[in-house]
Amino acid sequence: MTRALYVLIGDPVAHSRSPKIHARAFELLGIDAVYAPCLVTNVPAAFAGLRALGAAGFNVTVPHKEAAAKLCDRLDAAAERIRAVNCVDAVFTGHNTDVPGILRALNQEASAGGPDVVFGAGGSARAAAFALPGCSIVNRTRSRAEALARDLGARLAEPEVIREARLVVNCTTIGLHDESLPFDVAQLPKDAVVVDLVYRGATGDTALVRAARARGLRAIDGLAVLVHQAIASLEIWLGRNDLEELYPKLREAALA
Ligand code: NDP
C-alpha cells in the first residue's frame, strides 16, 4: 500500500493552515497520507500532473477555484451552481466544501427572522449565497453583485440592510491585512450573528470578530469555517460522514 497523496493548489499557499489541519486529521485517523501545499500558476498542468500521480484528492484555493470547476470531469450540484470548486476527489468530481464549511460553522447559531446578509460577491460570497438561499448581497462593485444575485437567486441590497439582519457574513477581503471593518457592528440588531470568513494572526480572529464580540454579539471566525470545510473535504475523500467530532483537535492544530 503506497502513501496516499493529497495536495493543496493555489497562489499563494505558503501561509495556509490546511496542511496542519489535514496532517493532524490523518494522524488522528491512523491514515498513511501526506497533504502537500503546492504553489501553482498553471492550473491545467497541475490537474494533468495530479491525474498522472493518482492523487487521492486535493483542495483548490485562491485564485484557482473557478478554473478548477472547468477542469473537473463532473461537478456536484453545489459546485455546478456556484461554478467554483475547492475540493476534488480521486475520480475528478469537483465539490464546494465552503458551503458545508459555512453551514456547519453556523450550526444552531442563526436565528430566524430578518434577512441573511452577505458582504462580497467573489468566490466565497457565491458559496455563502448558495448556503443561505434568498440572502441579501452587498458589494462594492454593483455589476458583480448583480451577476451573483442572478446566478444564485439572491437579492441586491444597500449596506443599511444590516439594521434588520439576523445573520451577516463577511465574504470580502476587508480585515485580511489590517484592522479595517467591512461594516459597522453598532448598526446590527442585538441578537445578530456575525460570521467572518477572513482569519488572520495567531488567534485567527479579526477586527470584525473582536468588535462584534465586544458588542456582545455571537461571532464565528474564519478559522471555524476553514476547519469545517477541511472536515467536509475529508469526508468526501474518505467516504465518511462522521468526522465532525474532530473539530476541536483540528482547530487546535490550525492554531499551533
Ligand atoms: P474574491 O477575491 O473572490 O472576492 C473579494 C471580495 O472582496 C469582492 O467582493 C470585493 O469586492 C471585496 N473587496 C475587496 N476589497 C474591498 C474593499 N476595499 N472594499 C470593499 N470590498 C472589497 O475573494 P474570495 O471570495 O475568494 O475570499 C474572500 C475572503 O474570504 C478572503 O480573505 C479569503 O481568504 C476568505 N476565505 C476564507 C475561507 C475560510 O474557509 N475561512 C474560505 C474562502 C475564502 P469587488 O467585487 O468590488 O472587487
Report the pLDDT value the prediction gives residue 112, as an integer from 0 to 100: 56
Report the pLDDT value the prediction gives residue 207, as an integer from 0 to 100: 97
CB-CB contact of 57 with 233 (8 Å): yes
Report the pLDDT value the prediction gives residue 1, as an integer from 0 to 100: 66
Distance 170 CA to ligand 1 centre (A): 8
Q: What distance in Å separates the CA atoms of residue 56 and residue 237, rounded to the nearest whole number?
A: 7
DSSP state of 235: H
Indicate which residue's Cα is closest to atom 31 of ligand 1. 173
Question: What three-state secondary structure class fits 116?
Answer: strand
Mutate to test the pocket of ligand 1, among 148, 172, 174, 208 (most ligand atoms within 8 A of CB): 172
CB-CB neighbours of 109 under 10 Å: 12
Torsional class of 196: left (φ above 0), alpha (ψ -120 to 50), beta (otherwise) = beta
Q: pLDDT tens digits for the chain (256 residues)? A: 689 999 999 999 999 999 999 999 999 999 999 999 999 999 999 999 999 999 999 999 999 999 999 999 999 999 999 999 999 999 999 999 999 999 999 985 555 566 899 999 999 999 999 999 999 999 999 999 999 999 999 999 999 999 999 999 999 999 999 999 999 999 999 999 999 999 998 888 999 999 999 999 999 999 999 999 999 999 999 999 999 999 999 999 999 9
Report the pLDDT value the prediction gives residue 2, as an integer from 0 to 100: 85
Report the pLDDT value the prediction gives residue 108, as an integer from 0 to 100: 57
Report the pLDDT value the prediction gives residue 148, as an integer from 0 to 100: 96
Indicate which residue's Cα is closest to atom 9 of ligand 1. 120
* Residue 13, C-alpha cell as written in the block: 499557499
Q: Where do we find the cell 498513511?
A: 32
- Please state the pTM of the whole predicted model: 0.96
Report the pLDDT value the prediction gives residue 138, as an integer from 0 to 100: 98
Report the pLDDT value the prediction gives residue 107, as an integer from 0 to 100: 82
* Residue 74, C-alpha cell as written in the block: 463532473
Indicate which residue's Cα is closest to atom 27 of ligand 1. 124
Q: Where do we find the cell 484528492?
A: 57
Report the pLDDT value the prediction gives residue 234, as an integer from 0 to 100: 98
* Residue 118, C-alpha cell as written in the block: 452577505
Please indicate whether residue 249 is annotated as part of the active site.
no
CB-CB contact of 53 with 47 (8 Å): no
Atom index in ligand 1 nearest the CA of residue 124 equals 25
Report the pLDDT value the prediction gives residue 254, as an integer from 0 to 100: 96
Atom index in ligand 1 nearest the CA of residue 63 equals 26
121 lines ligand 1 (CB under 6 A): yes
173 lines ligand 1 (CB under 6 A): yes
Report the pLDDT value the prediction gives residue 110, as an integer from 0 to 100: 54
DSSP state of 111: P
Atom index in ligand 1 nearest the CA of residue 199 equals 41
139 lines ligand 1 (CB under 6 A): yes
Question: What three-state secondary structure class fits 197?
Answer: coil
- From the list 20, 65, 70, 249, the catalytic residue is 65
Report the pLDDT value the prediction gives residue 149, as an integer from 0 to 100: 96
